[in-house]
Structure 1
Amino acid sequence: MLRRAGPGVGAALAGYNPEVDNKVPREVFCRRTLRWDIPCLTSAAANELLREVEPFAERVLAGASIVWDGENHIGQFDGDAAAAREEVADLVARPDRPTVGDVDAGDWFGGEALEKLTADTDDDALAAIARNEEQLAATTLDVYTVLLGAEQYLTERREALRDEVRDELETVAEQHKDLEEQRNALIVRVKAFGDSDRQVGGRAGMTHTAVQYIVAKQALAEAAEVAPVPLPPSDLDRHDPGNQDRPKKTSQ
């Protein structure tokens, strides 16, 4: 991009177009700023291109002026300035300049990088893995390549691994509950054989007092299951044999 700041004064810049939908700014539309499209070059290649453009940019500025056309201030160029613009267009169109490529993290990661990543990897270690992979992408491919979204991708993968651990915890908790109930039932059975609390505790890997607690708790649970349900008072009266001999009250 070549921008005129005053008569014979300007600046040559390499950058990107920030306009949404690649719209053309008024400065460019009115030729007060000249712009040429270039590929995404490495910083060294972009600086080299600017150095090559410099003598032609000076010719463009020397032959440029801004005039009012009745609606806008527009850039106007003499013959040499117009020829220099064409020279610049030829320079930027050269295909042999080192460019920057990019690769999405989802396409890049695999193998060793993901083997290093576990559910227990902390944030610092995760960031170090991302930096290492970014360096590999930049230095091992045919063109300088930027690895996009590495840390975010690794963070999402770590969260997926942590979800697997959370699911495993729920599964083990259910299994533990089932095994605990089975153990307690076996403790009660072995106690019924006449084994002492200490003998049972030794086999179950617990203290004799813990055995006593489990046996007592199981006995209470069984008692609650077989306890008779009390009948309502009216039913008690109806089924009480002595109720037939009680004098009935009469109204005075």
Structure 2
Amino acid sequence: MNSTSDAQQSDTAQQCGTGVSMLPCQGAADLFHRYPGEFTEQPVYVVLDLCSGYLYADWAGEISGTPIEVHTGFVRRFPIPPLAGEAANRLLAEVAPLAGRMLADWSREFDGHNTVAVLGPDASAAETEIEALTSLRGQDVPMADLVQAWDIEGATNGGEVEEFGITATTTDGRLAEIEAEILLSLSSCAEGAPTVCPGLGGYLEGLRQELIHQRNIERGIERDQR
């Protein structure tokens, strides 16, 4: 699980009375992730682990390929858009009874190559219902229920140094506050939806670095003049 640590699992798991342990999203933008250097965000899934009973929503940790536990069927994944935390938790609550039916009707079998998970008839029917339910969540989703992603060009205006008073001595803490202020402003343009801007922190750090470089040049000129 990428957005939930091992230590958090036992603290946050909600027992659903069907053998399902639901792990709710903790943050509004937990389901958005873009690796450095990548141009697209990671796919997002509702995930059911047949062995542990955990049901949760998460982004895929792999950039390519399929994890072996998914390939062998022990972990079932259902694609969804990058929902806001509360919207994802509402969906998990709807999926939980169906997930319970899946947990009650599966077995391990050797297929000649690997040990795989095989669903019984009721589990297969429940999985089909989950697929239909998660598919619907990908259609006509209200803006407030989706994590909104902005690129640097759309999120900034080039005037942040003057607007926020950034200097060569601006602290990391203040840069983090400025980043949060910008994201809050962007969120207000998106019906209050959780908002992310990959690279925004680095952009602000770059502005400070330019000011540090400029200050050092000016100090060097002053020394030469003396």
**Is the CA contact (8 Å cut-off) linking 1:67 and 1:76 kept in structure 2?**
yes
Under a length normalisation based on structure 1, what TM-score does the superposition of the two structures give?
Answer: 0.59
State whether structure 2 residue 104 is matched by structure 1 residue 56.
no
- What amino acid does structure 2 have at the position aligned with 1:151? G
Contact 1:119 1:158 in 2 (8 A): yes
1:122 to 2:165 alignment: no
Residue deviations 1:38-74, cap 9 Å, x none?
A: 1111110111111010111122222211212232211
Counterpart Cα distance in 2 of 1:20 and 1:149: 19
Letter in structure 2 aligned against 1:25: P
SS in 2 for 1:86: helix
Contact 2:161 2:167 in 1 (8 A): no
**2:168–2:209: 8 Å Cα contact kept in structure 1?**
no
1:14 aligns with 2:61: no
Partner of residue 133, structure 1: 182
Aligned match of 2:151: 104
> 1:117: how far off?
3.3
1:213 equivalent in structure 2:
none
Q: Tell me the TM-score normalized by structure 2.
A: 0.65
The separation in 2 between residues aligned to 1:81 and 1:125, in whole angstroms, is 52
Q: Is this contact kept in 2: 1:101–1:146, CA < 8 A? A: yes
Q: Give, as a single letter, the amino acid of the residue that structure 1 aligns with 2:123.
A: A
Paired residue for 2:160? 113
Unaligned runs of 5+ in 1: 178-252
Give the secondary-structure state (helix, strand or coil) at the position aligned to 1:18. coil
Contact (CA 8 Å) 1:130, 1:151: kept in 2 or not? yes
Could you tell me how far 1:92 is from its partner in structure 2?
0.9
Q: What is the deviation of 1:161? A: 2.7
> SS state of the match for residue 54, structure 2?
strand
How much has 1:120 moved relative to structure 2? 4.4
The structure with more radius of gyration: 1
Q: Deviations over 1:135-189 (max 9, x none)?
A: 2233432442112233321121122133334444555667x57xxxxxxxxxxxx
Which residue number corresponds to residue 68 of structure 2? 26
1:100-151 deviation digits (Å, cap 9, x = unpaired): 1222345412266332234345214333222222322334324421122333
* Residue type at the aligned position of 1:101: Q
| Higher helix residue share | 1
Structure 1 residues 62-107: Cα deviation after superposition (integer angstroms, max 9, x where no partner): 2211212232211222222212111101111122442112223454
Whether 1:158 and 2:208 are equivalent positions in the alignment is yes
Distance 1:70 1:111, change over 3 A: closer
Q: Aligned to 1:91, which of 105, 126, 133?
A: 133
CA distance in 1, matches of 2:54, 2:166: 51
* CA distance in 2 between partners of 1:42 and 1:12 (Å): 17
Going from structure 1 to structure 2, the CA distance change for 1:34 and 1:163 (only over 3 Å counts) comes to same
Match of 2:42 in 1: none
- Aligned-residue sequence identity (percent) comes to 29
